[in-house]
Structure 1
Amino acid sequence: MTRGGQGLARVAVVVRAGAAPMWWLGVFAAAIGVLVPGVTGRRIGVLAGAALFLIGAAVVVLVRRSRYAALARGAARAGRYDVLQDRAVTVRNWRRGHRWWLLLAFLVALGGSFAVPAAGGMLLAGIGTGLRLKAAWLGRRERAEETLLWVRVDWLDKRGGCPAGKAVKGLRATGIAAGDAAPGGARRRTAALV
């Protein structure tokens, strides 16, 4: 990064990076948890898990929403020498940095099945769903404003890698065509060449 440029990662990609592993680990833990009768029984466990799924998804979607909106409103234009990080690199870095937390969450969800079958796994899947919905919300905002939101990579390394955490002083903005991720953090679909 020459001439004072910064490494930038897409905000929506960082938010979305944990969605798939949490969803699949949650589904897997819930599927195994259903096989264990547990203290409460399967029916109560699944009903409690369904409630936890909805609560977990709603909380993740709503938490720090105003902080994201405030940071987006104050986003400065990305500089000429800023380096835009590829989507795959951002996802890989987030998952590597959180792999032990993901494993711990899976083990806790699985262990909780001996008390309340499937509930922990469904909560974990709900958190993954909430992250996906939050990334979609960011994508709708990016499309409406025709601006992609980026965060400095060095700020992500602090305090768990949250793009709206205390370490983040502000966001950067680029045009809608920048980078290799579409609004919302999904892979950008390229038109087939004729």
Structure 2
Amino acid sequence: MARERQALARVAVVVRAGAAPLVWSGLLGAAAGALLPGVTGRRIGLLTGLLLFLVAAAVVPLVRRGRYLRLAEEAGRAARADILQDRAVTLRNWRRGRRWWLLLALPAAVVSSLAVPGAVGLLLAGLGTGLWLKALWLGRRESAAEQLLWVSVDRLTRGGAPVGPGVEEFRATGVAAGDAVPGGARRR
């Protein structure tokens, strides 16, 4: 029985989509926080932010790792009729769907610096770094298995995350498919 045609987005690209905006918003917010004395003082604020950065960068790559592994192991081959979404389209759609959160990240980091300078900015940068590290982990896994992982765009928009509650399966293609290398970076 033939499966219906569907649009597929790269899992690693979706994971990586939030990394750059979060890192840049976080670093700009932390820089603004370093200029403000705040309630706790610069030293305490920045040390707290550094601790939050390290914790976030270590924890985010581990979140839902088992679900990623299970879906990757059960991934079926993508059908010949499936449409593979470009990396730029996937990034644009993901960021558009979360534009208000991404736009509010920088002002939230700056305003919070009035209390604890740089802490929230460095936390945001840690979250972005963690997403980037998770995408690199996915890329190593894709390279080892010699297959790229894809998720249905319809399921992605409902669940929001590549392993959200609406996602039931991944699809796999060879490593030459699409315009992104394993890990979601742009193919040169």
What do you get for the CA RMSD once the two structures are aligned?
Answer: 0.9
Structure 1's unaligned 5+ residue stretches are 190-194
Q: CA offsets, 1:45-98, max 9 Å, x none?
A: 110000000111112111011110111001010001000000000001111111
Give me the identity figure in percent. 68
Q: Which residue of 1 aligns with 2:131?
A: 131
**Partner residue, 2:21:** 21
Query: Distance in 2 between the 1:83 and 1:51 partners?
Result: 43
Work out the CA distance in 1 between the residues paired with 2:84 and 2:146. Answer: 17
Distance 2:64 2:141 in 1: 15
Matching of residues 105-184 of structure 1 within 5 Å: 105-159=105-159, 161-184=160-183
Alignment-mate amino acid for residue 95 of structure 2: R
Amino acid at match of 1:80: R
User: What is the match of residue 31 of structure 1?
Assistant: 31
Match of 1:101 in 2: 101
Structure 1 runs of 4+ with >6 Å offset = none
Q: Report the equivalent of 2:47.
A: 47
CA distance in 2, matches of 1:130, 1:163: 16
Relative to structure 2, which stretch is displaced further, 20-29 or 105-114? 105-114
Paired letter, 2:130: G
Alpha-carbon distance in 2 for matches of 1:67, 1:126: 22
Deviation at residue 170 of structure 1 after TM alignment: 0.5
The one-letter code sitting in structure 2 at the alignment partner of 1:138 is: L
Q: Structure 2, unaligned stretches of length 5 or more?
A: none
User: CA separation in 1, counterparts of 2:168 and 2:43?
Assistant: 47
1:192 is matched with none
